[in-house]
A and B are shown apart, each in its own frame.
Chain A
């Protein structure tokens, strides 16, 4: 898994100053990247571009050498998992179990093996005994673990986490850092949190400033 950003330029409105201007970066398998930058510097925008939710006005994104512009959002999401800054926006179902299962049910891919796998997800993400809970009323850390479980149930090879420590407590943080450090794919962590960066396993430090990504 390799993601290359080449000379990406993006602005929300045609005539306004671009949020990103000539961004270049490479993200590789098995490595951890920490992206910092002031509020409003365009970190979330960059994540949305990588995910194909926004289209760059200039430049391109290569995923394993292939032009991402030619891939559907669903195909990109198969390779890249995204943890929203606000997990409420990626949780839909009335129960935890249904949250994990519904995409497979809807696409007719909820086999017995998949069901076993989802059951194991509950254990991995410390959600055992919560199968019937309503996701939106769970704690910040629980919501985040459930959102992570839904992403991992699709076998994402690369993870983008947008400010993952902004709404969780201390205990959940150690779960999160252990998870990121133990993840075999690559991970891009967008954060201001010095403590989180310090607990990552040899992260590449990047900084978004003046519309460009710099090595920090």
Chain B
């Protein structure tokens, strides 16, 4: 289905808002499946994307496992002496974390499947200042680059003779630190370069901008947006009326 960037943005906004507001695992699961459905509707190749992001997904699962082992409280499922290792609360926290990250990744896929230029135009039409819209488009544009670089770093790590799978837990954490540090500082360095080259080309010098392509909302776009808003409203009313569905 072809969808106007503004309709896509609305879906992303609703999905991520619900991911934050959802009260428990059951509510999160609903949002997760809704996000899956939107991806399917837009014919996004979820399995392909999951394969490409498998290292990132492993990282999320890994953090979840660490979380479930370290959160105290609830009923103990596994204890050695006086120390509880696995508690119901820990597992609940971990499951919530995995669902939330999953929802955010799915929302990210919706964004990444759109044309960056069209997305900027959509944001502009919504009245967002050009600088902000431009920044968001750049962030999207760089996503695949970051993914490729992350894969290259994992390979480079293996070529240093480090087999992440075979390391102990604290050492694994250390390796993930090594993978994240250069990725983050690389971001900062890249954005500084970009800022410099943009001001060199006179970005922001002209106040009034003209557009080459015009966007128009179709009735499908309107229908999708209205249904999405209605479903979200129903979801929120239900959640705030009935409260938690799932108590640990």
Contacts and interface: CB of A to CB of B under 8 A. Distances in A.
A89 B174 CA distance: 17
B161 interface: yes
A19 to B, nearest CB: 16
B223 interface: no
B159 A89 contact: no
Interface stretch (B5-13, B135-143, B178-186): B178-186
Given A89-B149, A106-B167, A136-B189, A77 B182 contact: no
B189 A107 contact: no
**B171, B182, B185: most-surrounded residue (chain A CB, <10 A):** B182
A73 B161 CA distance: 8
A106 B175 contact: yes
Interface in A92-106: 92-94, 102-103, 106
B162 A136 contact: no
A109 to B, nearest CB: 9
Contact of B160 (A72, A89, A103): A103
Interface string B134-178: 000000000000000100110111111111000100010011001
A73 B159 contact: yes
B156 A73 contact: no
B156 A74 contact: no
Given A89-B152, A92-B181, A93-B178, A107 B162 contact: yes
Contact of B182 (A53, A73, A81, A136): A136
A102 B161 CA distance: 11
A154 B156 contact: no
A102 B160 CA distance: 9
Contact of A77 (B161, B167, B174, B186): B161
Contacts of A84: 152, 156
B149 A103 contact: no
A155 B142 CA distance: 36
A91 B159 contact: no
For this complex, into which size category does the number of interface residues on chain B fall? 20 to 34
Nearest to B178: A92
Q: How large is the interface on A (under 10, 10 to 19, 20 to 34, 35 or more residues)?
A: 20 to 34
A82 interface: yes
Given A92-B178, A136-B185, A77 B159 contact: yes
B159 A51 contact: yes
B155 A73 contact: yes
Nearest to A72: B163
Nearest to B179: A92
Nearest to A75: B161
B76 to A, nearest CB: 32
Interface in A105-126: 106-107
A150 B167 CA distance: 20
Contacts of A103: 160-162
Contacts of A82: 159
Contact of A73 (B158, B171, B174): B158
A74 B175 contact: no
A132 to B, nearest CB: 16
Contact of B162 (A74, A89, A90): A74
A185 to B, nearest CB: 16
A154 B155 contact: no
A146 B153 CA distance: 16
A94 B180 CA distance: 11
Given A84-B156, A106-B171, A136-B185, A78 B161 contact: yes
A88 interface: yes
A108 B181 CA distance: 22
A74 B182 contact: no
Given A74-B158, A77-B158, 11 more contacts: A73-B159, A77-B161, A81-B159, A84-B156, A89-B156, A90-B156, A90-B159, A92-B181, A106-B175, A136-B182, A136-B185
5 contacts: A51-B159, A74-B161, A90-B156, A91-B182, A106-B162
